[in-house]
Amino acid sequence: MTYHPKTCFGLLRHTVTEWNQSRRIQGQADSPLTLTGETLALRWGRLLAGNFWNRILSSDLGRARRTTELINQELNLPVTLDPRLREKDWGKWTGKTIAQLKMEFTDIWVKQMPSEWDFCPPGGESFQSVWKRGREALAAASDCWPGEKMLVVTHEGMIKSLVYHESTLSDFRKDEQCLMPYHLHCLTFLSGRLEIEHLNFLNLSPAFPSSVQP
């Protein structure tokens, strides 16, 4: 039996987009990074340079790719794009604000509240489906580059799916503060098991001093 050393993944959400600012659901559609978002991604590159990384895995959606490009101006690492790391497909809800959803899809919105893990929006996918393809992506990367330390630039829905499935957390709203915004989260893969190593490992928020170490 071939021994594979532990592979480490640092999960990071893409930086700020125009749709983030207008609070619209992006799903697998896209919108460009804001100027603030681009500046922040460059800063992330400088902060992340203090940690040793072997490569970057990125969602192939434009906002994640652009975040990766800007971070990598500092890190200069090999990059692999993987569509399995995309955001959840929100189907007909894509481009809507929460206020619009509550008005236009009132009955569906109420029904999805107690069962968000398995809920599938019209024409979209469930968080269970997101977890499955995300785990497949990390397992494949672990097989290709066992023992490496990889930065994973992805999306909020993907990070929540991976973390919540491997923890005791279950409610995407009630427990959302366990995953703080603008933070790096560390997972490991060993012997076929994906495990949480450290949530909120590194603070990359705009107000956080660049000299602070995790």
Per annotation, catalytic residue among 38, 87, 155, 197: 87
Torsion angle of C-alpha atoms 92, 131, 57, 196, degrees rounded to 10: 140
Q: How far is CA 47 from CA 140, 144, 154, 165, 203, in A?
A: 27, 27, 18, 29, 9
Q: How far is CA 163 from CA 3, 75, 124, 174, 200, in A?
A: 25, 26, 21, 14, 11
Q: Is 87 among the residues known to form the active site?
A: yes
Per annotation, catalytic residue among 4, 14, 18, 183: 14
Q: Is 176 among the residues known to form the active site?
A: no
Supply the residues annotated as catalytic. 14, 87
